[in-house]
Chains A and B, each alone.
Chain A
Amino acid sequence: MSTIICHQICKTFRQGDEIITGLDHVDITIETGEFVCLSGPSGSGKTTLLNAIGGLDTPDSGEISMGELRIDQLQRGPLADMRLHHIGFVFQAYNLIPVLSAQENVEFVMQVQGMATRERADKARAILAEVGLEGLEKRRPAQLSGGQQQRVAVARAIVSQPDLVLADEPTANLDSVASAQLMELFTHLNQDHHVTFIIATHDKRVMRYARRLIRMQDGRIIADEAQG
Chain B
Amino acid sequence: MLSVANLHLRTLLTLSWRNLWRNHRRTGIMLGAIAIGVWAMIFMTALMRGMVDDMLNQGIHNLPGHIQVQDPTYLDDPNVVNSIAAPGAELRKQLDQLGAVAWATRIKVPAVIASERETRGINLIGIEPAVEASISGLPALLASGRFLESDQDSGIIVGARLAERLETRLGKRVVIMSQDPDNNIRERGFRIVGIYRARLPALEEFNVYAARETLQKLLRIEGRISQLILVGDDYRDIAPLYRRLDQLLPSTLQARTWYQVDSYLAAMFNMMDGFVLVWVIIIFLALSFGLVNTLVMAIFERVREIGLIQALGMRPGLIVCQILLESLLLLLIGLGIGNGLALITIKPLESGLDISAVAEGMAMMGASSVLYPKLTTADLLLANSIVIVLGILTSILPAWRAARLDPVRALNTT
* Chain B hits for A99, CB < 8 A: 15, 18-19, 22
Whether the Cβ atoms of A91 and B308 lie closer than 8 Å is: yes
* Chain A hits for B15, CB < 8 A: 97, 99-100
Of chain A, the residue at the smallest CB distance from B314 is A112
Whether the Cβ atoms of A93 and B408 lie closer than 8 Å is: no
A73-102 residues at the B interface, CB under 8 angstroms: 76-77, 80-85, 87, 89, 91, 93-100
Whether the Cβ atoms of A108 and B312 lie closer than 8 Å is: yes
Query: Shortest Cβ distance from A20 into chain B, in angstroms?
Result: 14
- Whether a CB of chain A sits under 8 angstroms from the CB of B172 is no
* Chain B hits for A111, CB < 8 A: 7, 10-11
* Chain A hits for B348, CB < 8 A: none
- Whether a CB of chain B sits under 8 angstroms from the CB of A104 is yes
- Whether a CB of chain A sits under 8 angstroms from the CB of B310 is yes
Q: How many residues of B contact A (CB 8 A)?
A: 30
Query: Shortest Cβ distance from A177 into chain B, in angstroms?
Result: 28
* Chain A hits for B7, CB < 8 A: 111, 114-115, 117
Whether the Cβ atoms of A77 and B315 lie closer than 8 Å is: yes
Contacts between the two chains (Cβ within 8 Å), count: 76
Whether the Cβ atoms of A114 and B309 lie closer than 8 Å is: no
Which of A83, A93, A100 meets B313, CB within 8 Å? A83
Query: Shortest Cβ distance from B190 into chain A, in angstroms?
Result: 84
Whether the Cβ atoms of A98 and B305 lie closer than 8 Å is: yes
Whether the Cβ atoms of B8 and A112 lie closer than 8 Å is: yes
Whether the Cβ atoms of A51 and B18 lie closer than 8 Å is: no
B304-343 residues at the A interface, CB under 8 angstroms: 304-305, 307-318
A102-147 residues at the B interface, CB under 8 angstroms: 104, 108-109, 111-112, 114-115, 117
Query: Shortest Cβ distance from B326 into chain A, in angstroms?
Result: 11
* Chain A hits for B3, CB < 8 A: 114
A111 to B309, CA, bound (A): 12
Whether the Cβ atoms of A83 and B311 lie closer than 8 Å is: yes
Which of B8, B22, B309, B407 meets A56, CB within 8 Å? B407
- Whether a CB of chain A sits under 8 angstroms from the CB of B4 is yes
Whether the Cβ atoms of A94 and B411 lie closer than 8 Å is: yes
- Whether a CB of chain A sits under 8 angstroms from the CB of B412 is yes
- Whether a CB of chain A sits under 8 angstroms from the CB of B14 is yes
Of chain B, the residue at the smallest CB distance from A84 is B313
* Chain B hits for A98, CB < 8 A: 305
A84 to B318, CA, bound (A): 13
- Whether a CB of chain B sits under 8 angstroms from the CB of A57 is yes
* Chain A hits for B310, CB < 8 A: 80
* Chain B hits for A81, CB < 8 A: 313, 315
Chain B 282-324 interface 0/1 with A at a Cβ cutoff of 8 Å (1 = within): 0000000000000000000000110111111111111000000
Which of B304, B312, B411 meets A109, CB within 8 Å? B312
A76 to B310, CA, bound (A): 9
Whether the Cβ atoms of B308 and A94 lie closer than 8 Å is: yes
Query: Shortest Cβ distance from A95 into chain B, in angstroms?
Result: 7
Of chain A, the residue at the smallest CB distance from B302 is A98
* Chain B hits for A93, CB < 8 A: 411-412
A99 to B302, CA, bound (A): 11
Of chain A, the residue at the smallest CB distance from B319 is A80
Of chain A, the residue at the smallest CB distance from B406 is A57
* Known contacts A57-B408, A112-B11, A114-B4; A97 and B313 CB within 8 A of each other: no
* Chain B hits for A115, CB < 8 A: 7
With A83-B311, A87-B313, A156-B312 known, 15 other A-B pairs at CB within 8 A are A51-B408, A77-B317, A83-B312, A84-B312, A94-B308, A95-B308, A99-B15, A99-B18, A104-B14, A111-B7, A112-B11, A112-B313, A112-B318, A114-B7, A114-B8
The 9 closest A-B pairs by CB, nearest first: A84-B313, A99-B18, A83-B313, A114-B4, A80-B315, A111-B11, A57-B408, A80-B313, A94-B304
Q: List 18 A-B contacts (CB under 8 A).
A: A51-B408, A56-B408, A57-B407, A77-B316, A80-B315, A91-B308, A94-B308, A95-B308, A96-B308, A98-B305, A99-B19, A100-B14, A109-B312, A112-B313, A114-B3, A114-B7, A114-B8, A156-B312
